[in-house]
Structure 1
Amino acid sequence: MTDYEAAILDVDGTIVRGGALIPGAEQGIRSLDRAGCDRLLVSNNPTSGTNHYGDRLESHGIDVDTTRILTSATLSASYLADTHPDETVYLVGSDALESILTAAGVTVTTDPDEADVVLGSFDESFSFGTLWESLQALENGTPFYGTDPDVTIPVDGGSMPGSGSILAAMEAVAGREPDAILGKPSAVAAETALERLESDPRRTLVVGDRLDTDIALGNRAGMTTAAVLTGVTDRTDVEDATGDFAPDHVLESLGDVESLL
C-alpha cells in the first residue's frame, strides 16, 4: 500500500523528449496506476493545451484524461480570465498561446498602447521590435506576468531557448521582474494542481526533471519530490542543490518510481 494518493508528473524531460517516449516512462506510469495513485500531468509548455498531450501520449499507448492535464498556457489563461476580466492582455508569445487565451475569454492584443496587462512567453518570432514594444507596454506599472521560467526547452539532440530567456530580456528593459509566474513553480500552479486532484499535499508525489520548477513547486507546497535524470538535471546538479531545489529522492528515470510506492 503506497503512502501517496496522487502524483504530479512533468512531461517534457520526464515522460517524453521531443517526439520520443523516454525509456521507463510507460513502466513508471503503469506502476502509479497499479498503486492507485491519481495522476496529473503538469507541463510548462506554453504553446500547448490539454488535447496536445492527450493525443501525444495516446500515440505511445498511454491513456490520459485531458481533465488531468495542466500546461502553463492553460494555467495562464485561467488565471488571467479570473483575475483580469474585461482587460486587454498584450502578449509576447506564440499564436498557439493566443488561441488558448482567446478560447478562455481573454482579450489579446499586439498593440502596446492597448495593454492593460502584459504576458511574456516563448516566441519564435521574438525580435528587437518586439522587445521595444514590450517596453512600451510595461510602462506605468502595467501588471506583468510570465507563463513559465524555463530558460531552455529539451528537444531531440539538445535544447532550444524557452520562455525564461524571453522574460529575461523583457525584465532587463523594464527594470522589474514579472509580478508572477503562472506555470511551475508558482503557487498558482501548485494550488490548481492540488484542487484538480483533490489531494493532500502530504500524500502527493511530484516527479520531474527540473529542480527550479518541478522540485521547487513540490517542496514549497509541502509535497514529496523526486528528480529524474532523463532531462536537464544530472547528479552533480542534485548534489549541489539546496533549499527548495533539493529533491527528496533521485530516480534514474520515471520507470524507477515503483521504488517509492
Structure 2
Amino acid sequence: MTRYEAAILDVDGTIVRGDRLLPGATEGLRALEDAGLSWLLFSNNPTRSPDHYRKRLAEHGIDVDLEHVLTSATVTAEYLAANHDDDAVYLVGEDRLESILEETGLEVTTDPTEATLVLGSIDRGFTYERLRSALETLEGDVPFYGTDPDVTIPTDDGAIPGSGAILAAMEAVAGRKPDAVFGKPSSVAASAATTRLGASAEDTLVVGDRLDTDVELGTRAGMTTAVVLTGVTTRADLERSAVEPDYVLDSLAEVDSLLER
C-alpha cells in the first residue's frame, strides 16, 4: 500500500536527457504503475505539444496517454482560451507556440496596435524590434503573461537562455512584472495537473530535477516533493537552496522507496 494516488513527473532531466533515456527511468515508471498510481508528465517547454513527448518516449518503449501530458504551452493556451478568448495576443515566442495558441482558437497578431494582450516566452529569433513592439503594446496597460519562468535551459552543449530571460527584458522595458507566469511552479500549473489526474494535492507526489520549478510547484500546492540528481540539481545546490524537497533521489528508480512508506 502507498499513501499516494498520483504522481507528477518532469521529463527532461528526470526521464530523458536529450535523446538519451536516463538510468532508472523505466524502473521508476514501472514502480509507480505497480503501486497503482496514475502519473502525468509535465514539461516547462513552451514550444512543444503533448504529442511530441508521446512520440519521444515511445522511442524508448514508454507508452504515454496524451491526456496525461502537460507543457507550459498547453497550460498557457488553455488558460488564455478560457479567460481571454476575445483578446488579440502579441506573442514574443516561437512558431510552434503560436500554432498551439491558434489551435485553441486564440488570435495571434504581429501588429502591436491591434494587440490587447502580451505573452512572453522563449524566442530564439528575439530582436530589438520585437522587444520594441512588445513595449508599445504594454504601454496600453494590457494583460501581460509568460509561459514559464525558466531563465536557462540545459542542453547537451550547455545552458541556453530560456523564457525567463526574455521575460526579464520585457519586464525591464515595461517597468512591470507579468500578471502571471503559467508553467511550473504556478498555481495554474498545479491546478491543471491535479485536474487531469483527478487527485488531491495532498495525495500527489511530484518528482523532478529542478528545485525552483518542480519542487516549488509541489511545495506551494501542498504536495510531497522529491528531487532527482539526474538533471540540473546537485547536492551542492541543495545545501544552498531555500527550496527544500521532502526527498532526494539519485534517480527515478529510487521512487519505489517512497511508495513503501
Coarse TM-score class (shorter-chain normalised): over 0.9
1:95 CA displacement: 0.3
What amino acid is aligned across from residue 248 of structure 1 in structure 2?
D
Contact 1:17 1:154 in 2 (8 A): no
Per-residue CA deviation, residues 193-251 of structure 1 (Å, 9 max, x unaligned), is: 11111102111000011111111110111000001111111111112222xx2110111
Structure 1 Cα separation of the partners of residues 160 and 13 of structure 2: 13
Aligned sequence identity (%): 63
Q: Secondary structure at the match of 1:140?
A: coil
Secondary structure, aligned partner of 1:226: strand
For residues 131 and 14 of structure 1, the distance between their equivalents in structure 2, rounded to whole angstroms, comes to 34
> What is the one-letter code of the residue matched to 1:239?
E
> Which residue is 2:170 aligned to?
170
What SS does the aligned partner of 1:217 have?
Answer: helix
Q: Distance in 2 between matches of 1:238 and 1:222?
A: 20
Q: Which residue type is aligned with residue 246 of structure 1?
A: E
Counterpart in 2 of 1:49? 49
The residue aligned with 1:255 is 253
Contact in 2 for aligned 1:6/1:39 (Cα 8 Å)? yes
CA RMSD in angstroms comes to 0.9
**How high is the TM-score relative to the length of structure 1?**
0.97
Unaligned runs of 5+ in 1: none
For the residues of structure 1 that align with 2:25 and 2:216, how far apart are their CA atoms?
A: 22
For 1:253 and 1:70, locate their aligned partners in 2 and report how far apart those are by CA, in whole Å. 22
| CA deviation string 1:23-53 (max 9, x = no partner) | 1111111111111110000110000011000
Residue equivalent to 1:107: 107
Aligned ranges for residues 1-261 of structure 1 at < 5 Å? 1-242=1-242, 245-261=243-259
Per-residue Cα deviation, 1:65-116 (whole angstroms, up to 9, x for no partner): 0000000000010000000011101000010000000000110012111111
Moved over 6 A (4+): none
**Corresponding letter in the other structure for 2:256:** E
Q: Which TM-score applies when normalising by structure 2? A: 0.97
> Mean Cα displacement is larger for which, 120-129 or 14-23?
14-23
Question: SS of the residue aligned with 2:113?
Answer: helix
Unaligned runs of 5+ residues in structure 2 are none
Deviates more, 1:233-242 or 1:31-40: 233-242
